[in-house]
Structure 1
């Protein structure tokens, strides 16, 4: 991993259902080396219908590994997330060094990879926050929190989620009951936060990001019917990044997700139609993942490989940033 700044103090931690299921529960065990196939499971749960514009999914990763055994993977760029661990034995890395995380953290929208490590058995829940959810629930603009992971405390920007961990876990593990408690908490949060005036335009921008024919910010602004300046202002506040970077990130993730779904493919077969050539893609890969495609392919992805396939079946999109609002 390349050397990147890691801001570590008391607040900042890092800078840088089966289809047809009636209970919403779905999981698939990944096919991995070293026996991890039987040690890691991923489950995705759909939020209630009224929450769908604001949250992509709730997800549970269970690590039934031996005490002292470590599992490492690399997160791709995504929208904001709240994550919390039952046992707290997890960390994130930058520049090859890993730093312990508190039990519950919030991560703003990201434009670069985050490496993470779990040491020993644990259960980790995550809540994916879409751009409309960010402006509805968060007082800070998304670009201020972009590419940062912070502890969720009552005096942090993630204060609305500070009690989520305590409200979710029970005396015994119960994924369905825990997902229901998360959903109930999100409903309560939305009930006390009024809709924002920009929400309709944020939804329009979000939907247009899925138009693979859009090649420029000018095209996007024309489709939305607003000036480039207004478009950039809303994108920074709700999406975390300027529209040019958002379009570039979507193009990259469309390609990366195809590889994650089928790692037997060559990179050239996964390239989005907007890439000029493979060298163009390699430059984007280096920017967003901090390594070359060949380096990434040589690594095991015990969590993200499984989660991509599971998420496609359950939520209809291989990665969170490709989740249609």
Structure 2
């Protein structure tokens, strides 16, 4: 069932729509949501947007070649089955007419479904069809291409991952506990996180890199930033000072974080068109309660 839809476009000739489909109860600890993004545009016309820092995603793209770059630089051609690891930098995404199915993978899902540390693909994307850790998922691309009805395609993705649960490794409860702590806006330090988990700070560091992709200090900083950015995405009329998370000392500290995570100033970002993420953030919040995957609560 579709639970959210957004549509926007920089011109009348361009249409960008994103629909969201909830994952089944069995997948809620491991995946955030299934989504379909479609771009309709005249030949030669492309839309560009900057995806916020987030957890991992698998995307299956059909249509004209798309381009992507994590953290700056010229966008490279994106594979049709693109796996993006957890990110601490914005991803520039450029697309013409295309249809892309995606599923968000939470930290516990990364440990459940993929046999490599998250930090190995942090802040980058790989060709899922060529990488041995993801090749087993590549046949989904052909199946989705043959499935025209959106709800049926979403169920195919859900069924695929549910089918993997029977042979997947056991859950690591520490990952769930760490994720829950990280999205708690009262958490202020790595020492406090270690105390909550009953681990040494060195053990927390190892867990964080393996399951979340980054050191815990960076993750805490990222979550603080995302909480602020989410408020703006839901209401772009707000001033930046009004969006600031209460852990920020001042607007200058937020501006430094914005440059670190998005690669541009808040003013530059606010002035940019957001053909993919603008309305999608509001639709996602309506569907799941959070505008961004990085703020998704473990277990849904």
Q: Structure 2-normalised TM-score?
A: 0.94
Q: Tell whether 2:26 aligns with 1:26.
A: no
Task: Answer yes or no: is the 8 Å Cα contact 1:56–1:320 preserved in 2.
Answer: yes
Q: Tell whether 2:207 aligns with 1:234.
A: yes
Rate the CA distance shift 1:26–1:300 in 2: closer, same or farther, 3 A.
same
Rate the CA distance shift 1:188–1:245 in 2: closer, same or farther, 3 A.
same
Alignment match, 1:13: none
After TM superposition, the structure 1 = structure 2 runs for residues 94-243 of structure 1, keeping only pairs within 5 Å, are 95=72, 97-119=74-96, 121-153=97-129, 155-170=131-146, 173-196=148-171, 199-243=172-216
Unmatched runs of 5 consecutive residues or more in structure 1 = 1-22
Q: Deviations over 1:131-151 (max 9, x none)?
A: 001011111100111011000
Rate the CA distance shift 1:95–1:60 in 2: closer, same or farther, 3 A.
same
Q: Distance in 1 between matches of 2:11 and 2:2?
A: 30
Quote how far apart the aligned CAs of 1:186 are. 0.9
Q: Deviations over 1:156-204 (max 9, x none)?
A: 3222322221122225x211111011111111122221324xx211000
Rate the CA distance shift 1:245–1:277 in 2: closer, same or farther, 3 A.
same
Q: Structure 1-normalised TM-score?
A: 0.87
Question: How many aligned residue pairs are there?
Answer: 297
Task: Answer yes or no: is the 8 Å Cα contact 1:214–1:220 preserved in 2.
Answer: yes
Quote how far apart the aligned CAs of 1:25 are. 4.1
Alignment match, 2:222: 249
After TM superposition, the structure 1 = structure 2 runs for residues 303-314 of structure 1, keeping only pairs within 5 Å, are 303-314=276-287
Q: Distance in 1 between matches of 2:107 and 2:39?
A: 29
Rate the CA distance shift 1:105–1:88 in 2: closer, same or farther, 3 A.
farther
SS of residue in 2 equivalent to 1:297: helix
Task: Answer yes or no: is the 8 Å Cα contact 1:88–1:103 preserved in 2.
Answer: no
Unmatched runs of 5 consecutive residues or more in structure 2 = none
Q: Distance in 2 between matches of 1:90 and 1:228?
A: 41
Quote how far apart the aligned CAs of 1:284 are. 0.4
Quote how far apart the aligned CAs of 1:95 are. 4.6
Quote how far apart the aligned CAs of 1:40 are. 1.1
